[in-house]
Amino acid sequence: MTSSFRPAYLIHGDDHGRIGERRANLRRMAEGAAGAGGVELLDADAATPELVAAGLNTMTFAMGHRFLIVDGVERFKDADVKAALVPALAAMPPDTTVAFFAREDGRAKVPPSLAAAVKACGGVVAVEQTLKARELPRWIVQEAAKLGLELDGGAARVLVEHVGERQQRLLRELEKLALEWGPGTRLGVEEVEAVAAPSAEHQVWGFIDALVSRDRAAAVRAYLELRAQGEALPRLIPLMAKRLREVHAIAARLEAGESAAALKATLKLSPYAADRRIKDARGSDADALRRAIIALADLELASRGLADVAEDTAALRAIDAIAA
């Protein structure tokens, strides 16, 4: 049977986590095909072009396919590769595969002659490069789709804010979302927050939930806890305003006679978030929510120093007015 493995592989780039995953996957596949005895490892400290060439030319008594996995090739010199390794790759023994892994960083790069030699012998060269920060949200949306999730751009940006820019960490968080919500789900900011946000962020959303549901005691308690942790009032106000405006718009439409089903179909929210907003709107009325938005506008002025009381006093007064 013809082997599905190529004679050579070169996996390089600055995404060290992804390169490590690919190395582990290839080693697992190689051991599955040839057994542990058919896989030879050269670590980054020991590997040199001369040693790899000698390994490729060494006769073994192993039966079946033979694999040589080489780490640290970003340290190879181009002249050494040309002198020792290029000829060895050109005369690769049959039933042999060599896999080179390079974790590039700064000036540590794969020699061009190695990439050319891998291609010349029928091998594969693959680059694992980290994305720029501005490219990550679009990439996250695409990766989410592969897991059966529909993630909007805002949710993707929030995921980066909470998790950071490491792609492997972002993929793990997407897998958590897929497990929790299941394929075919459309996710927005709130659903991402529920899985990826740290505990302090959960408290922010808990405060806003209590505020919109007009639970004065819970809202005051959550607000004071957030302030004790150093949460800034100017960061809370836009979050409060966004939620109140959403619920106010829904309440007004419900009071005008629109059905919940018809309304839900027009909302640019996940099904979960849409159900929550409709429930909040049914528990209030449009006039009360309009007064709450006005109170919040006054609080925004107070947070900018345009009031004769301290901002915490102004905030507690606003919570009273909103929860009335």
Query: Which residue shows structure tokens 């542990």?
Result: 36
Q: Please indicate, yes or no, if residue 2 is contained in any of the structural domains.
A: no
Q: What is the pLDDT of residues 96-122, one digit of tens each?
A: 999 999 999 888 899 999 999 999 999
Q: What is the pLDDT of residues 183-213, one digit of tens each?
A: 888 888 877 877 765 555 556 777 888 888 8
pLDDT top residue among 12 and 182: 12
Does 206 lie in the same domain as 277? Answer: yes
Q: Please indicate, yes or no, if residue 19 is contained in any of the structural domains.
A: yes
Q: Which helix (H) or strand (E) holds 70?
A: strand 66-71
pLDDT at 17 over 90: no
Answering whether pTM is above 0.75, one says no
The CATH number that applies at residue 256 is 1.20.272.10
Q: Rounded to an integer, what distance in angstroms lies between the CA atom of residue 278 and that of residue 246? A: 10
| Listed residue (26, 13, 107) closest to 68, CA to CA | 26
The predicted pLDDT at position 187 comes to: 87
The CATH number that applies at residue 86 is 3.40.50.300
Residue 257: pLDDT band (50, 70, 90) is: very high
The predicted pLDDT at position 74 comes to: 94
pLDDT at 238 over 50: yes
pLDDT at 290 over 80: yes
Residue type, 316: L
Does 315 lie in the same domain as 218? Answer: yes
The predicted pLDDT at position 59 comes to: 59
The predicted pLDDT at position 8 comes to: 96
| Mean pLDDT of the region 161-186 | 82
Domain with 95 in it: 8-127
Query: Domain end: 99, 127, 155, which one?
Result: 127
Does 304 lie in the same domain as 268? Answer: yes
The predicted pLDDT at position 140 comes to: 93
Q: Please indicate, yes or no, if residue 216 is contained in any of the structural domains.
A: yes
Does 47 lie in the same domain as 17? Answer: yes
Count of domains for the chain: 3
Q: Please indicate, yes or no, if residue 1 is contained in any of the structural domains.
A: no
Strand partners, 244: none
The predicted pLDDT at position 203 comes to: 67
The predicted pLDDT at position 2 comes to: 42
Query: Which residue shows structure tokens 């497990």?
Result: 179
Q: What is the pLDDT of residues 120-168, one digit of tens each?
A: 999 999 998 888 888 889 999 999 999 999 998 888 988 887 777 778 7
Q: What is the CA radius of gyration of the chain?
A: 29
| Mean pLDDT of the region 213-232 | 84
Does 234 lie in the same domain as 152? Answer: no
The predicted pLDDT at position 1 comes to: 38
Query: Domain end: 105, 127, 149, which one?
Result: 127
What region does 209 belong to: left with phi over 0, alpha with psi -120 to 50, or beta?
Answer: alpha
- In this structure, the number of other CB atoms found within 10 A of the CB of residue 1 comes to 3
Q: Please indicate, yes or no, if residue 123 is contained in any of the structural domains.
A: yes
pLDDT at 31 over 50: yes
- In this structure, the number of other CB atoms found within 10 A of the CB of residue 238 comes to 11
Q: Please indicate, yes or no, if residue 141 is contained in any of the structural domains.
A: yes
Does 122 lie in the same domain as 13? Answer: yes
Does 21 lie in the same domain as 120? Answer: yes
Residue 27: pLDDT band (50, 70, 90) is: very high
Q: Please indicate, yes or no, if residue 3 is contained in any of the structural domains.
A: no
